Structure 1
Amino acid sequence: MTEDPIDELRLLFEGEGARDYLGEPVTQAQHMLQAAALAAAAGAPDALVAAALLHDIGHFHGVVSGAELMRGTDNRHSDTGADWLARWFGPAVCEPVRLHVAAKRYLCAVEPGYHDRLSEASRYTLGVQGGPMSAEQAGRFAALPYAADAVALRRWDEQAKDPSADVPGFPRYHSLLSGLVQSAVSD
């Protein structure tokens, strides 16, 4: 790997990102690039656009792979990804990444019809990841500092599975990510 974090991320998008995305009709990189494009189109702040871009990076770095997730073993990719990204980025990027799976569980518990809008693969992984939250769990989740950002990210995540979407590639986010790395290092 390289010492430049943005270059390291780019290489992951070009390498492991070119793999199938867990039963969806797009690659992992296409999925994350679509999520970032949706966040940018919604006017999200740079840190949340970065979180959308990087939210599934934990599928690349976990002890348990995304393929194993589809075979029924939770790879805890949200935690793995957030912890790995924390070397370079602050909580405004890492915490929505950490919470995006919990946000799916939350939305399935509190929003009528949300579960029905999930893709087949996402419904399957919901069960592996603990299913919808209880009312008590949902209340605790909603009180977390980055819960609203994680819910926004989760909505983009679910929409970002269009095989015909034409979105900017990874280079579009180079300066955005660079700016966030610099501010995270100086904080």
Structure 2
Amino acid sequence: MPLTVDQIIRLYRTEGAVRDGIKNISQEQHALQCAQLAEQAGAGPQLVAAALLHDLGHLLQPAARDEAAFDDLHEFRVQPFLRNVFPRAVLDPILLHVRAKRYLCALSASYWDRLSSASKRSLELQGGPLRTREIELFLREPHAMDAVALRQWDDQARSPTRRTPGWDHYRRVLQRVAVYEPEVLAA
């Protein structure tokens, strides 16, 4: 079932605030920092929304699983919850951001060297660096370069002290790019 903007924000404020997503920051902090970095780079509102929502799939799974032991496929898990709410320009960079990491690792050993140990472990589970044919296919994707930019912001959005705009600001971004706002069903 598609999520409303308010439901997305509530997930980040609850599940995303308590889960230790990346090193010393929560998934909520990571999402806000990633969106801020996108804005600072001059990205349009659709790519800012993608940066904000790229790891939402982590919040849609049980928390008990050991993340180091499996690839949670979060980039796929989130798609049904955002499809028909946001356009392809938001959905595709989210879907492609894991492949973008694999792409960057295939292009640059120094990129791989900069990854955290957890990110290196997840890269192995995700298939390792892209192979030549996979690179060609990735580059044919309409939003591949947006996914690469998102991935680079993702890597930088890990500061426990960075201050960001809050949800009031990003609620407006999400509402602006949403193509459909599902109604909340009465219980």
The TM-score normalised by the length of structure 1 is 0.89
- What is the CA-CA distance between 1:91 and the residue it aligns to? 0.4
Taking every aligned residue pair, what percent have the same amino acid on both sides?
42
AA of the residue aligned to 1:21: D
1:185: which partner in 2?
180
Q: Deviations over 1:57-96 (max 9, x none)?
A: 001124xx46636231211000112332114111010110
Q: Deviations over 1:26-76 (max 9, x none)?
A: 1011011100000000010100000000000001124xx466362312110
2:90: which partner in 1?
93
> Structure 2 CA distance, aligned partners of 1:177 and 1:57?
14
Q: Is the 8 A contact 2:22 2:158 kept in 1?
A: no
Structure 1 residue runs of 4 or more that deviate by more than 6 Å after TM superposition: none
Unpaired runs of 5+ in structure 2?
182-187
- What is the CA-CA distance between 1:107 and the residue it aligns to? 0.5
2:137: which partner in 1?
140
Point out which structure has higher relative CO (alpha carbons under 8 A, 6+ apart): 2
1:27: which partner in 2?
26
Q: Residue 132 and residue 4 in structure 1: after superposition, are their counterparts in 2 closer, same or farther (change >3 A)?
A: closer
Q: Is the 8 A contact 2:76 2:95 kept in 1?
A: yes
Unpaired runs of 5+ in structure 1?
none
Q: Is the 8 A contact 1:26 1:162 kept in 2?
A: yes
Determine whether 1:166 maps to 2:159.
Answer: no
The TM-score normalised by the length of structure 2 is 0.89
1:51: which partner in 2?
50
1:128: which partner in 2?
125
AA of the residue aligned to 1:49: V
Q: CA RMSD in A?
A: 2.1
- Matched positions, count: 181
- What is the CA-CA distance between 1:111 and the residue it aligns to? 2.3
Secondary structure at the residue paired with 1:68?
A: coil
2:172: which partner in 1?
175
AA of the residue aligned to 2:180: V
